[in-house]
């Protein structure tokens, strides 16, 4: 698992691993990441479906509940195909933009 920390945001990605193993590793590493906004880059997964997004639902809800952003990045699934509780965007740049907007909203108590 690879972590790329930029300020208060950590980008997480992994190469050559199953989604199940990736999720296990992410859950193990979560205590180190829980104070950061998290971007999960899923481009290394050649097969990724809307059903796979649901595997991140619990972690997303936990993280967002603590007042931090959690964004999945994949171009294989449209944000229309997933529940509103999970934020999915097609590029890392858009994920960073979402986090910036959410931080402004939190600062303004919106």
At 32 the pLDDT is: 94
At 79 the pLDDT is: 78
| CA 6/CA 96 separation, integer angstroms | 10
| CA 57/CA 62 separation, integer angstroms | 9
At 15 the pLDDT is: 81
Spatial CB neighbours of 88, under 8 Å, sequence gap ≥ 6: 53, 71, 72, 73, 74, 77, 78, 79, 82
Cβ contact 71:99 at 8 Å:
yes
Strands (E), the chain: 2-6, 9-13, 37-41, 70-73, 87-89
pTM: 0.92
pLDDT, tens digit only, all 110 positions of the chain: 899 999 999 999 988 788 899 999 999 999 999 999 999 999 988 888 989 999 999 999 999 999 999 999 999 998 788 888 899 999 999 999 999 999 999 999 87
Q: How many residues does the chain have?
A: 110
At 105 the pLDDT is: 92
């Amino acid at each position: 698992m690879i972590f790329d920390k930029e300020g208060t945001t950590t980008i997480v990605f992994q190469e050559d691993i199953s989604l199940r193993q990736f999720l296990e590793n992410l859950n193990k590493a979560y205590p180190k990441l829980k104070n950061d906004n998290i971007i999960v880059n899923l481009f290394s997964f050649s097969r990724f479906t809307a059903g796979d997004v649901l595997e991140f639902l619990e972690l997303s809800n936990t993280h967002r509940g603590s007042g931090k952003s959690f964004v999945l990045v994949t171009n294989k699934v449209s944000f229309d195909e997933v529940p509103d509780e999970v934020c999915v965007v097609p590029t890392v740049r858009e994920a960073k933009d979402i986090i910036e907007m959410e931080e402004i909203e939190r600062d303004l108590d919106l």
